[in-house]
């Protein structure tokens, strides 16, 4: 049941993000007559400190979060998973170097590194994606390496090696498909991390820049009017919490479904 609810929330988020460009929204329209207007029939979630409709900006912020989360997770997966699998397959000095590189990245908080990179590259969606992907690949590499170490001795993998199949082809045609399930679960959790990180960078002013809407910047602006217009803070805060919670619940559901030992114990 929880998995279905989480999936419904995520489909709603993705749907709004994808069709938001075609909806008659006025996310950046300034209307001084409706500054800090409370939620009502005309404006579902009220207006902000410039009279812009919060609902319209919430939908625009959903587009930004999806536009950041999908490329970040995709790039992190494409970089980290093959690198971790190749490290496990090669072993020796190559594995030692890659493992030390992963340890160096893990020694620093990921968000702190992302903040440093975003500050160096400058604000903007493209730079946010680069900064988050530059630190996001580590989790996939570590997981792929650990999983590949446990499956590289499988009979069909050793048979392919004995038949003279190239090492790179073995990694991409045999090892990675075997570890696709845990990588898929990791990708779902990485989506939640990317959405939260994008909101955090925008909150600090290192993400998307005004007048483009972002849930993080909306929360930052709403903190100045918590007492007189709490809807400015509650709307993006609840939206962000629902998306992150739903992604985590969906990840837990996928982990239970894809875990063979867990399914066997339930029978």
Tokens of 74: 């995709």
- For the segment 110-163, what is each residue's pLDDT rounded down to a tens digit? 878 888 888 888 888 888 999 999 999 999 999 999 999 888 878 777 787 787
**Separation CA 133–CA 84 (nearest Å):** 15
225 in a domain, yes or no? no
Residue 227 falls inside a structural domain? no
Residues 6+ apart with CB under 8 A from 146: 84, 88
Quote the pLDDT of residue 260.
52
Helix (H) or strand (E) holding 157: helix 155-162
Residue 9 lies in a domain: no
- List pLDDT tens digits, range 193-216: 999 999 999 998 888 888 888 999
The sign of the torsion formed by the CA atoms of 107, 112, 118, 124 equals positive
Query: pLDDT class for 102, splitting at 50, 70, 90?
Result: very high
Buried b (16+ CB within 10 A) or exposed e, 185-224: bbbbbbbbbbbbbbbbbbbeebbbeeebbbbbbbbbbbee
What residues pair up with 53 in beta bridges, in sequence order?
Answer: 47
Those residues with Cβ within 8 angstroms of residue 100's Cβ, 6 or more apart along the chain or in another chain: none
Residue 21, burial from CB neighbour count under 10 angstroms (0-12, 13-18, 19+) = exposed
Q: Is residue 129 a part of any domain in this protein? A: yes
Distance CA 111, CA 53 (A): 31
CA 136 to chain CA mean position, Å? 9
CA angle 9, 30, 35 (to 5 degrees): 85
Q: What is the pLDDT of residue 264?
A: 42
Task: Give the tens place of pLDDT for each residue, 67-99.
Answer: 999 999 999 999 999 999 999 988 889 999 999
Whether 142 maps to a domain, the answer reads yes
What does pLDDT average to over the chain?
A: 87
Q: Tokens representing 132? A: 């988050």
CA distance 81 to 139: 9
Domain-located, residue 237:
no
Q: Quote the pTM value.
A: 0.88
The reply to whether 105 falls in a domain is: yes
The count of structural domains within the chain is: 1
Question: Considering the domain boundaries, does residue 189 fall inside one?
Answer: yes
Residue 93 backbone dihedrals phi, psi, to 5 degrees: -65, -40
Range of the domain at 113: 69-210
Per-residue pLDDT band for 259 (boundaries 50, 70, 90) equals low
């Amino acid at each position: 049941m929880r998995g279905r609810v989480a999936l419904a929330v995520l489909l709603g988020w993705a749907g709004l993000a994808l069709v938001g460009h075609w909806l008659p929204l006025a996310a950046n329209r300034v209307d001084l007559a409706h500054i800090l207007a409370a939620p009502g029939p005309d404006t579902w979630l009220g207006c902000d400190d410039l009279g812009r409709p919060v609902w319209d900006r919430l939908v625009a912020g959903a587009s930004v979060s999806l536009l950041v989360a999908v490329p970040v997770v995709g790039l992190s997966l494409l970089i980290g998973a093959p690198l971790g699998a190749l490290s496990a397959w090669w072993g020796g000095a190559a594995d030692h170097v890659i493992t030390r590189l992963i340890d160096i990245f893990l020694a620093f908080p990921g968000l702190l590194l992302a903040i440093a990179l975003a500050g160096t590259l400058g604000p903007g969606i493209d730079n946010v994606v680069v900064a988050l992907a530059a630190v996001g690949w580590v989790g996939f590499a570590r997981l792929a390496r650990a999983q590949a170490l446990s499956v590289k001795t499988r009979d069909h993998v050793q048979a392919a090696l004995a038949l003279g199949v190239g090492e790179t082809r073995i990694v991409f045609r045999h090892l990675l498909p075997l570890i696709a399930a845990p990588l898929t679960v990791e990708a779902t959790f990485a989506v939640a991390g990317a959405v939260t990180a994008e909101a955090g960078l925008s909150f600090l002013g290192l993400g998307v820049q005004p007048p483009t809407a972002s849930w993080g910047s909306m929360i930052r602006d709403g903190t100045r009017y918590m007492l007189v217009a709490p809807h400015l803070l509650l709307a993006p805060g609840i939206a962000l919490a629902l998306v992150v919670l739903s992604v985590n619940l969906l990840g837990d559901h996928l982990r239970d479904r894809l875990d063979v030992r867990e399914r066997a114990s339930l029978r």
